[in-house]
Amino acid sequence: MTPLLIALLVLPILALIALLMTERGLDIKRYAHFFITGLDSGFRPRQIAFLGRIGKTAGIEDLTTLFWSVSALDRCTAEIVRRARQTGTDYEPGTQALLSSLYAYRTKIELEQSKKRRGLGSTRDIDVNQKVRILLRGVGVFSSRVLRSTARYLVLDYPSHPTIPATSIEWVGKQINVYFWRHDDAGYVFDTVIVPDPVSEGKAVINVAHTTALVRSQKRKSVRAKCSIYAQLYLLMPDDPLENALEPEPGMKCLIEDISEDGAMVTIGGRAVKDMKIKLQFMLRDVLIVMAGVIRAVEYNKTTNQSRIHVECGELNPRMKNSVLTFVYNVLPEEEKEELDAIRLTEEDGIADGESPRTIPDLPAIDEVKQGPELPDFANK
């Protein structure tokens, strides 16, 4: 190999090393690291490049924090929302696709942090009044709740079943599986045994041995946010498809109390039943949201004759879904956050004056709404 050829090979390498030692070279290395981290996180090259530009505009010094820091990701998302609204591109498919990717990643980070923060390690950590389901194999599934926790065991309310008399069962010594859903966390299950306790003898309670072998049976797939949003509710026929088509006529008045991309918790008048198909229609900022779904759980308050229903909705279109997630993660531009803060403070003033915005005296009862004969009957008819 001639000296000239060696020089031609070595000089570019030396030049590259010299460049990487300069400030510009360090910027190139940092950007390369950011780009590779973005690819590893599931973003496309074009999206990564755009996030880099937006991140710099938002004043984020270390761009790789966009892929692990919630606050950095929220700042970048808020800047994208602001720019899109300013330029009138918020309806464009490219904008919605980018927001969908960001929110999917944001949800992943939130749920991973939630798991680290809230995971149960022992039955001693279960809250008082936690509802539980007791599976006694070969017999059935019973309902109960946690009354208190002692050093040796959990004290549960005496199990109940709609058709099986629980008093006919000799519970002490039985092996059971206990299932429960922990609020804002996940579903859990643990195996245990019912132990005797002379102090509790004759009382309507059972005592189950503590354990650290809890298994997360189901994890949350979305993040919910508290809210107070009035909406229109429509009853669907059992055979109706769950479509997000706009309803031109007014529906029943209801109040949404928490919301996520896959459902909502809603207060309605009257007594609702599980597995009904319904549709919710409401405005979220400047976007009309239509959620069609199924009632998965009902909490009925006999005193107020109102039901709190948990609705699982079908897939929202990207525009609606991203608007819901913008609300859930509170990543609005700063000027819009200020408007929402003013509304929230006004509502708090109403609460202080004894006029709670959650009180709905004119909420129509769901069973008073005119409906066809094919709709399911209600318990209080």
> For residue range 227-245, what is the model confidence (pLDDT) as tens digits?
889 999 999 888 888 888 8
pLDDT for res 359? 45
Q: pTM to 2 decimals?
A: 0.55
Q: Are strands 186-195 and 140-149 parallel, antiparallel or unpaired?
A: unpaired
* Partner residues linked to 206 by β-bridges: 156
pLDDT for res 331? 67
Rounded Cα gap, residues 63 and 196, in angstroms: 59
- The secondary structure of 156-215 as a DSSP string is EEPPB-SSS-GGGS--TT-EEEEEEE-TTSEEEEEEEEEE--GGGTTSSEEEEE--S--E
pLDDT for res 217? 60
Rounded Cα gap, residues 105 and 43, in angstroms: 9
In the chain, the domains with their CATH numbers are 3-118 (no CATH), 123-213 (2.30.110.10), 225-368 (2.40.10.220)
Going by the DSSP 8-state scheme, the letter that residue 362 receives in this structure is T
pLDDT for res 351? 43
pLDDT for res 369? 43
Q: How many residues does the chain have?
A: 381
Identify the segments of the chain with pLDDT beneath 70: 1-26, 111, 113-119, 184-185, 198-202, 216-221, 331-381
Q: Are 282 and 230 in contact (CB under 8 A)?
A: yes
pLDDT for res 377? 29
